[in-house]
Amino acid sequence: MESSRRSFLKIAGISALGLGAKPVLDVLASSGETAAPITMKGENALTAKQWGMVIDTRKLQSEEDLEPMIEVCDKIHNIPKFENKNHEIKWIWAEEFKHEFPMQEADYLDDKLKHMSFLTLCNHCEKPPCVRVCPTKATFKREDGIVLMDFHRCIGCRFCMAACPYGSRSFNFRDPRPFIEKTTPDFPTRTKGVVEKCNFCAERLAIGKIPACVEVSNGALTFGDLDDPESEVRQVLRNNYTIRRKPALGTGPSVFYIV
């Protein structure tokens, strides 16, 4: 009965093919009806190749001059205030010369410079070491040059804190919520066990606003696209001598200082 077995298998095969094809055809037929949802950037979103900042320290002589910038950042990003220095969360803060520019301090440095407070924040490096070491890709470099964190993916291993030569990252040793003076609902808080840092106000750039610290700086801070020769930062960089933090490390900081 060779032939009947053979023809049975043939018919069975064709029937199975027919049954299997129907759902596929149904899907193909229905796919044209409704447009699939899409995601896009906002109309006013500011874009760049590499965002950068110039800090004119001539206009920021005392700690009081830095305060409004630090304050506004703390406020809009729900940054907690801890009494314990070890728990401190820093996005933007004041640092003295020898910590800001190590290897560049000298015995005969001007006293004024020696004791001045310098505004310090994440450098959003060209080659960020924190991104290289992150085991979960929670920290990544965006196409506009911002080194951003995805808090959802951070497992709190703190490799990035060890890798960052600028101390720009802080770890949440405790639940930060009880220590936030006034919570801004627009921006999420963080949770215990994640690392955080400055995000160059990515949430503001998305709606066409410049970073909050730049906005309140009265012109002491300049923000713009380092890749665009016509941008304001590039003009400031052309007209002034600027230094960067630890340039010899090769991280390519995007924050420049006029000293």
Partner 1 sequence: MPNNKKMYDKGKVMVGLCIFVVLITFPFWYNLGKAAPAPEPKLSEKAKAAKECVMPTAYMKAEHMQILNEWRDAVVRDGKRIYENSSGKKFNMSLTNTCLDCHVEKAEFCDKCHNYASVAPYCWDCHIDPKEVK
Q: Does 225 bind partner 1 (CB under 8 A)?
A: no
Give whichever of 72 and 202 is closer to partner 1, judged by the CB atom: 202
Q: Does 142 bind partner 1 (CB under 8 A)?
A: yes
Give whichever of 97 and 200 is closer to partner 1, judged by the CB atom: 200
Strands 195-196 and 221-225: unpaired
Say how many CA atoms lie within 13 Å of 258 toward its Cβ: 21
Please say whether the beta carbons of 205 and 229 come within 8 A. Answer: no
Interface residue with partner 1 among 77, 90, 124, 190 (CB under 8 A) is 190
Q: Does 206 bind partner 1 (CB under 8 A)?
A: yes
Q: How far is the CB of 119 from partner 1 (least distance, A)?
A: 25
Q: How far is the CB of 35 from partner 1 (least distance, A)?
A: 5
Q: Can you give the length of the chain in residues?
A: 259
Count of residues in contact with partner 1, rule CB under 8 A: 29
Q: How far is the CB of 231 from partner 1 (least distance, A)?
A: 19
The Cα–Cα gap between 165 and 253 comes to 11
Is 235 strand, coil or helix?
helix
Q: Does 109 bind partner 1 (CB under 8 A)?
A: no
Q: Residue 255 contacts by C-beta under 8 Å, 6 or more apart in sequence?
A: 52, 53, 54, 55, 121, 122, 123, 124, 244, 245
Alpha carbon of residue 103 to chain centroid: 27
Q: Does 40 bind partner 1 (CB under 8 A)?
A: yes
The Cα–Cα gap between 178 and 197 comes to 19
Residues found near partner 1 in the complex (CB under 8 A): 34-42, 45, 140, 142-144, 148, 150-152, 182-183, 185-186, 188-191, 202, 206-207
